[in-house]
Structure 1
Amino acid sequence: MQSTLFIQAPPVLGNQYGDDAFLRGYLQRRLPVGMLAQIEPSLAELGELAGGELYRLQLQDRLNEPTLTQWDAWGNRVDRIEVSPLWRRAADIAASHGLIAIPYERRHGRFSRIHQFAAVYLFHASSDVYTCPLAMTDGAARTLSVSGNQALIERALVRLTSRDPAQAWTSGQWMTESTGGSDVGASLTRAVRDESGGWRLFGKKWFTSAITSQMALTLARPEGNGPGGSGLAMFYVETHDDEGRLNGIRVERLKDKLGTRKVPTAELTLDGARAVLVGDTRHGTRNIEPMLTVTRAWNSVTSVSFMRRAMALARAYASQRRAFGAKLDQLPLHVDTLAGLEAETRGAFLLAFELVELIGRQEAGELDDAQKALLRLITPIAKLLTAKQAVNVVSECIEAFGGAGYVEDTGLPLLLRDTQVLPIWEGTTNVLALDTVLRGELSAGLPALRQRIQQGISAQHEERLTQVGQQALAAVEHVSSWLSHNDDPRRLQANARRVAMTLGRALELALLVEHGDVAAAGRCATVPVDLLVDIKSEDSARLIE
């Protein structure tokens, strides 16, 4: 008697633009009709690549990782790094599709950033985090473009923003040292004048991602400067000299990381690396802020991209997999679980793209003072909240596959490992929460946020949406009242995460109301929006003694 062998079909992805009704609805609502008609073919092409060729290559390329060859056969130090086949293909696609070029070409004015990040959102999840060097490249391009250093603009900007894969450069961002981590003011890297008057850098960078880039922006302390961030300066470094040799740089090792393993992240020793000063010899942390605003937007959008990819796979699987006599997408509990995750994904999407829109308007010179304050406030909030949401949503989606979600060759565990980097890169959740309450200029930012929420909820008059909108407004009012009655800096710091997340969740809710998404707004309103509750500091101290 012949036995019947059951083999479960894997989830299948379609065109990631055509299948994403929420993305298309957002673009239809926010972009001029003529512009959307112009850019839609390129977005559809990226969507096809993301769900087709790139996704297939990603699964095939799963075990390939960067390799470091420190010495050649004759004993010469070469520090040569080879990246994976997918990364080489992703580099060509990113350049030819203008993932960096779009906002600098400015063909669509303030909407250029929306165009760019819609493309990034489609591309990211199938790129094995090639978006890491792209984010730093965009940040470097923005930083150099506003630096006033015309020589560097002419040399580097044209390469950073090139659509020609043979000419395009990427940039690194070398700030992390073992002394400081997020506290970059503790940097020990020294900048020394040489005989010709140029600058040489000496020190160790503990965590430098995408070391294969052609240049980097980094921080170092010119000799004679005092401690802290104010004593640092920002420098431009090209990784190789004109003969192709490393520029006073030794690659000590590649990092063995939990995720983002396709990204060649290295420990570097700078031993006399030639560098060019960007700006003045002090306040480097302030001068590099344009880069951080851009890279935090990339972090926010790639968080949402991972959420969307996990949801696309989970929904595809639910439409195929049978259990307990029905397909998963017909089982009420499974439907309820995925619905909650979908609502979170939509709220996170709108928050990330609110930041994108503000950056586009800033670059077009269209922000008034209140909107500038709003941009400063929501930059850290969008990054910290979307990153935490991404880890939760992706983890839940992996669980929705049961045992298959835990098996490496399905490609699913990789998605969760790569997502985990998002709350860490570009500032941890706690660092960004402190940034929100201590540097977010709350006196101007909170009224601007309240005004934006009121604008969003006043756009809809459907009763259920009106009630949800009032819930968002009440959460912000509570934060504002709490802050006005609190003058204890330790209490403020202890509650910084709850303050930032409440403001972020309130804005997400208001944006869902503005979008007219009754189902998502209603679902998000069932989850606590106002997270600001006082916790006794004595209890916290006892718990970690």
Structure 2
Amino acid sequence: MTFTQTPPTLGNQYTEDRVLRSYLTRVLPAEVLAEVEPSLAEMGRLAGGELYRLQLADRLNEPVLTQWDAWGERIDHIEVSPLWERAERIAAEHGVVAAAYEQTYGALSRVYQFALAYLFGPSTDVYSCPLAMTDGAARTLLASGNRALIERALPHLTSRNPDQFWTSGQWMTELTGGSDVGTSETIARHEAGDVWRLYGRKWFASATTTPIALTLARPEGNGPGGRGLALFYVELRDEQGRLRNIRVDRLKDKLGTRKVPTAELTLEGTPARLVMGTTNGVRNITPMLNITRTWNSIIAASLMRRGLALARNYARLRVAFGASLSEKPLHLDTLADLQAETEAAFHLAFRLVELIGLHETDGLDEEGEHLLRLLTAVTKLTTARQAVAVVSEAIEAFGGAGYVEDTGLPALLRDAHVLSIWEGTTNVLSLEALRALAKAGGLAGFKAEIARILDNVRDESLLDTARTVQEAVNHAEAWLAEAMEQGQETIEAGARRFAMTLGRSLALALLIGHAQWSLHHEHDGRAAAAARRFAR
């Protein structure tokens, strides 16, 4: 009889995720956990069941741009994949954005929301992209205080009704620069009242099927750089569903995130409204970037978890040299390394989520606000690099099958690669981390965070591991002091290594802190084992 290999499968992605469930048990009050757990379990069921099956079946479907109809009219219609259509309805119904704005659980509403996103993301082919921008747009509009736009858009952006739910785009990148948005060439001309007209090209407009977008343009007469830009609100279509002076030139042919309809757009007098003043557009869109970078961090952790879940299941199914891979010491050791990286990334990402929740409910003091700005950059860059490495190793755990497109596995790695590019590359965010530290006046707040986390550690093996954290932070601080004496070039040249040291040090501290809690409350040593391994 011809041998056939049983493919890997997924179960309920909530009930089978020890790390997520343990974390929520520690962070959420018991009554809150009891209230949200059914919805998390349902999302876990969808992620490991219906959505995962649809994802595999939908593998070859990609967005299709039809620029002209049969009678020669320019329509620029984009058709997304069946998975994306289903994902939009599920995201709305389950409140993957709305949960953060309903504020049912105060500062912890963000923890609940991002737990949903963490479960939802890996099975929906980066539908997290428009959700991240939608969340960011909602937060940016609220921060702007523009009552007209808030009343117009927010009920849609935060709706649980799929028929009322709007997603948002974010158009910043132009041919002149990606992260260097201050060189943007799109011009805004004031027409009358609150209506402006935008003229220019947006070179990388993700999720172009969204009903609205926030974008940057330079009002005529304004000076150069980011201060001369203004933040605008655009509704893409008129009452008949036609694009409003927007030409879709083409869809991008990308390495990954191929289900995301990323387009090159030409704005030909597109009507727009100012969000917040005629200047300082880059500063005014910062709330959106903070949220999308947090989504990036959570999705990084979730993709790592997905690759590891599939690799573990396959290890029990695949027999080689007379035994299953799950019985091979070297294979188990490799998976244990991936588990340690994944757990550390998870705790780092969710610590950022906790800080955002506190920020949005006025629960942070000045030191906490400085820490939030630093960790937004450091967490995104750290988890993104971890995701690329972990997902690559997870795919290798399948041998040749991991290299075959039919399995759906290569898409995990292609999609992971975008995490260290969009919303700021590793180098760009490393420099942002330095600016955050300069504004905070140094590492005191970061060191206080480390001390707070490690203060309750009592287990001897974890105390030894905690010393690794302290040594790394002390080394980073000494390097920074020496580099400042040598000048700006030295600081910039070492910024990436410095930022990664901060990120991995804090990730380890958080993992140690959770491991101590788990030993005491759950009598479970697996988090402690992950911490010791991560520290090696």
Q: TM-score, normalised by structure 2?
A: 0.96
CA-atom RMSD in angstroms: 1.0
Aligned-pair distance for 1:468? 1.1
Corresponding residue of 2:506: 507
Contact 2:169 2:208 in 1 (8 A): yes
- The answer for the alignment partner of 2:529 in structure 1 is 519
Residue 173 of structure 1 deviates from its aligned partner by: 0.2
Tell me the residue number matched to 2:265. 268
SS class of match (2:78) = strand
Matched residue SS, 1:86: helix
Identical columns (%): 62
User: C-alpha separation between the residues in 1 aligned to 2:296 and 2:438?
Assistant: 22
- Which residue of 2 is the match for residue 156 of structure 1? 153
Where structure 1 has 5 or more consecutive residues not aligned to the other structure, the ranges are 527-545
8 Å Cα contact 2:367-2:440 kept in structure 1 = no
Contact conserved, 2:171 with 2:214, CA < 8 A, in 1?
A: yes
Equivalent AA in structure 2 for residue 11 of structure 1: P
User: Cα offset for 1:439?
Assistant: 3.8
The 2-side partners of 1:81 and 1:180 are apart by 26
Asked if 1 retains the 8 angstrom alpha-carbon contact of 2:465 and 2:535, the reply is: yes
8 Å contact kept, 1:110–1:364: yes
Cα displacement (A) at 1:68: 0.5
CA positional deviation for 1:292: 0.6
Distance 2:288 2:470 in 1: 31
| Pairing partner for 1:259 from 241, 248, 256 | 256
In structure 2, the gaps of 5 or more residues are 516-526
Is the contact between residue 99 and residue 119 of structure 1 (CA under 8 Å) also seen in structure 2? yes
* Cα distance change on mapping 1:187 and 1:412 into 2, 3 Å: same
**What is the CA distance between 1:377 and its match in structure 2?**
0.5
Preserved contact between residue 251 and residue 266 of structure 1 (Cα < 8 Å): yes
Displacement of 1:486? 2.5
2:405 to 405, 408, 411: 408
1:93 Cα shift? Answer: 0.2
Asked whether the equivalents of residues 402 and 409 of structure 2 are also in contact (C-alpha less than 8 Å), the reply is: yes
Counterpart contact for 2:437–2:443, Cα < 8 Å? no
Of 349, 352, 361, which residue of structure 2 is paired with 1:352? 349
Matches within 5 A, 1:10-21: 10-21=7-18
Distance in 2, Cα, partners of 1:477 & 1:214 = 49
1:247: Cα distance to partner?
Answer: 1.1
Q: Does 1:138 align with 2:138?
A: no
1:40 matched to 2:50: no
User: Does the aligned pair in 1 maintain the 2:248–2:266 contact within 8 Å?
Assistant: yes
Amino acid aligned to 1:61: D
* Contact 1:374-1:449 at 8 Å conserved across structures: yes
User: Match for residue 541 of structure 1?
Assistant: none
Q: Could you say what secondary structure the match of 1:390 adopts?
A: helix
Matches within 5 A, 1:43-62: 43-62=40-59
1:358-397 equivalent positions in 2, closer than 5 A: 358-397=355-394
- 2:238 pairs with 1:237: no
Is contact 2:194-2:274 (8 Å) kept? no
Amino acid at match of 1:481: A
Match for residue 79 of structure 1?
76
Alignment correspondent of 2:198: 201
Say whether 1:99 aligns with 2:96: yes
For 1:22-51, what per-residue CA distance to the aligned partner results, in whole angstroms no more than 9, with x for missing partners? 110000000010000000000000000000
SS of residue in 1 equivalent to 2:232? strand
- 1:536 maps to what in 2? none
2:288 paired residue number? 291
Residues 290-369 of structure 1 mapped to structure 2, 5 A cutoff: 290-369=287-366
Pick from 452, 459, 464: which aligns with 1:462?
A: 459
Q: State the distance in 2 between where 1:442 and 1:334 align.
A: 46
Deviations 1:171-226 (A, max 9, x none): 00000001011100110000111255621000000000000000000000111111
Equivalent residue, structure 1, for 2:276: 279
Deviations 1:422-463 (A, max 9, x none): 111101111111111134436446211101111111111111
CA shift digits 1:364-383 (9 cap, x unpaired): 10001111111011101000
Q: Is contact 1:374–1:445 with CA below 8 Å preserved after alignment?
A: no
Q: Match for residue 212 of structure 2?
A: 215
Between the two proteins, the alignment pairs up a number of residues equal to: 523
Which secondary structure state, in structure 2, belongs to the residue aligned with residue 79 of structure 1?
strand
- State the one-letter code of the partner of 2:498: V
Counterpart of 1:179 (choices 170, 176, 180) is: 176
Q: Are the equivalent residues in 1 in contact too, given 2:194–2:273 (CA < 8 A)?
A: no
How many Å apart are 1:350 and its aligned residue? 0.3
Separation in structure 2 between the aligned mates of residue 232 and residue 127 of structure 1, nearest angstrom: 34
Do the aligned residues in 2 keep the contact of 1:61 with 1:86 (CA within 8 Å)? Answer: yes
Distance across 2 between alignment mates of 1:479 and 1:195: 54
**Partner SS state of residue 298, structure 1:** helix
Say which is worse superposed, 19-28 or 454-463, in terms of deviation: 454-463
Cα separation, partners in 2 of 1:440 and 1:80, compared to 1, 3 Å: farther
1:10 CA displacement: 0.2
* 1:448-487 equivalence runs, <5 A: 448-487=445-484
Q: Counterparts of 1:389 and 1:252 in 2: how far apart (Å)?
A: 35
Three-state SS of the structure 2 residue aligned to 1:260 is: coil
State the secondary structure of the residue aligned to 1:125. Answer: helix
Q: Which portions of structure 1, spanning 4 or more consecutive aligned residues, are displaced by more than 6 angstroms?
A: none
- The CA distance in 2 between the partners of 1:47 and 1:485, in whole Å, is 49
Distance across 2 between alignment mates of 1:196 and 1:114:
41
SS of the residue 1:319 aligns to: helix
Q: Which residue of 2 aligns with 1:249?
A: 246
Kindly indicate whether the alpha-carbon contact (under 8 Å) linking 1:373 and 1:445 is maintained by their aligned counterparts in 2.
no
Aligned match of 1:542: none
Contact 1:169-1:214 within 8 A present in 2 as well = yes
Moved more, 407-416 or 194-203: 194-203
For 2:251 and 2:466, how far apart are their aligned partners in 1? 48
TM-score w.r.t. length of structure 1: 0.95
Give the alignment of 1:103-118 within 5 angstroms.
Answer: 103-118=100-115
After the TM superposition, which of the residue ranges 415-424 and 134-143 deviates more from structure 2? 415-424
